[in-house]
Structure formats: C-alpha cells, structure tokens
C-alpha cells in the first residue's frame, strides 16, 4: 500500500493526491502501453 501525504494542518485544509498508473497489455499479438493519471483534491472542513 502506498503512503499518502500527511494530513493538512488547521491553516491548510486542502490536500491534493495524484497518482500515475502505467501498464502494458498484450492483445491479439499487439502490445499496448496504457496510462491512467488520477488526481483528487480533498478539502477538510470543520463540522458545524
């Protein structure tokens, strides 16, 4: 399991997580390289 960035402090309540996943796939004798770029922005807000 990959390590996530540290949780934000009270002042900085926004965190961005980005991951790039690459893999090769062989199909009908052809090799294809696939890449997924995943980016997520999380905003921590105090419950009222």
Entry pTM: 0.46
Read off the pLDDT of each residue in 5-29 and give the average, rounded to a whole number.
83
Mean pLDDT across the chain: 83
- pLDDT for residue 29: 94
User: Which residue did the predictor score with more confidence, 39 or 12?
Assistant: 39
Residue 25 has pLDDT above 70, yes or no: yes
> Which runs of E-coded beta strand occur in 3-45?
14-27, 30-43
- Show me where the domains of the chain are located: 16-43
Contacts of 24 (CB under 8 A, 6+ apart): 31, 32, 33, 34
- pLDDT for residue 47: 66
């Amino acid at each position: 399991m990959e390590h996530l960035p540290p949780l934000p402090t009270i002042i900085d309540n926004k965190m961005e997580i980005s991951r790039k996943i690459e893999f090769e796939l062989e199909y009908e004798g052809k090799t294809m390289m696939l890449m997924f770029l995943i980016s997520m922005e999380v905003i921590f807000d105090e419950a009222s």
